Amino acid sequence: MIWLKFALCVAIILFAGTHLTQYADVIAERTGLGRIRAGLVLLALVTAMPEIVTGFSSVLLVDLPDLSAGTLVGSCSFNLAILAVLDILHKHTPVLTVVSSRQVLLAGWGALLLATTVGGIILAGQLPSLFAGWISIASIIVVVLYMIGVKQIFVSDYEHQLPLEPVTVLAHDDISMRGVYFRFALAAAGVVGAGIWLSFIGDAIVVATGWHASFVGSLFLAITTSMPELVVAISALRIGAVDMAVADVLGANMLDIAMLGPIDVAYLRGSLFSAVASYHIFTASAALIMSLLVIAGIKLPRQHKIYGVASWYTPVLLALFVIGSYLLFQASSG
């Protein structure tokens, strides 16, 4: 029964996620928001909502900080593996060679946030003086870095924004903006509701399987709650909005890590960074290296796919995700 509920949650998230991309593109086109900012704000906020809600409910409702941190950090590495999927699906050329160079800002700030998270977990057990009350200074830093990063990205995108290229689907001209916002909100509500339910399912999986909450959060819940990013990114790729697809993935990563700060505030038993297991360093470090690979994929001169299938970074991204998950499983099992 527990796995049936798990599958039902996946189905709800997939159903809601499939309706987000085209409406977000309509909003980007009609308001002049642009696809990078639409991906960073609209799509990233909604698609990251399951991770955020699961993160909060895991500490507030079921008292499992490892499940919370595992979901957020594990989602980052899975999200970056989504870029490998996009690269395979993108015909003829590597997907990162056709995106705006401004995507480097999103990947760079994401890497900085992940590095701060790794440092916060390492120092939590060695330098307890780094806590402000029950809140870790690392939590404060990630929130401040996120706000600075988003502001810089907005300014850069506004200064260099180009007219939107047409997509391969109808722009929903028959729907008013009010209708577009309403439908977007309905899809978001479905995603949020499924995210709340997922925290309880994750707790039940921990009890039923005997697996550590770190592994359950970093693998099962991370993958499931990242289904909206996967569906939305593939949908955006299919309609030709590649920048919005990549910005959704990278923006969701930034938001996931930034949410460690508010969740730390909500976790009144002590610092979240000191409460979680050190095993999360494996997935956070893997995501950090993956972020740097994404930057390299964007910055390097135009490349070609290996045998016309995938770019050089695609198998490396997938390997890092698998290795990070395996090391986490081994450490938590031991």
**Would you say how long the chain is, in residues?**
334
- Cα distances (Å, whole numbers) of residue 177 to 23, 29, 146, 172: 10, 11, 29, 10
Contact status, residue 329 vs residue 283, Cβ threshold 8 Å: no
| Alpha-carbon span 52 to 273, nearest angstrom | 16
Give the pLDDT of residue 214. 62
Give the DSSP letter of residue 163.
Answer: P
Torsion of CA 260, 262, 263, 265, to 10 degrees: 120
| Alpha-carbon span 77 to 195, nearest angstrom | 19
Give the pLDDT of residue 306. 83
Helix, strand, coil percentages, rounded to 5, for the chain: 75, 0, 20
Give the pLDDT of residue 134. 81
Residue ranges of the chain whose pLDDT lies below 70:
21-22, 25, 28-35, 38-39, 125-130, 132, 159-174, 195, 198-199, 202-203, 206-207, 210-218, 302, 333-334
Q: Which CATH class is domain 2-333?
A: mainly alpha
Give the pLDDT of residue 1. 76
Contact status, residue 124 vs residue 134, Cβ threshold 8 Å: no
| Alpha-carbon span 215 to 107, nearest angstrom | 25
Helix (H) or strand (E) holding 131: strand 131-132
| Domain assignments of the chain as residue spans, ordered by start | 2-333
Give the pLDDT of residue 289. 97
List, in order, residues 6 or more apart from 89 with CB less than 8 Å away. 95, 234, 237
| Alpha-carbon span 99 to 165, nearest angstrom | 13
pLDDT digits (tens, 9 = 90+) for 201-257: 766 776 677 666 666 656 777 777 787 788 888 888 887 888 888 998 999 999 999
Give the pLDDT of residue 44. 80
Stated pTM of the model: 0.84
Give the pLDDT of residue 114. 97
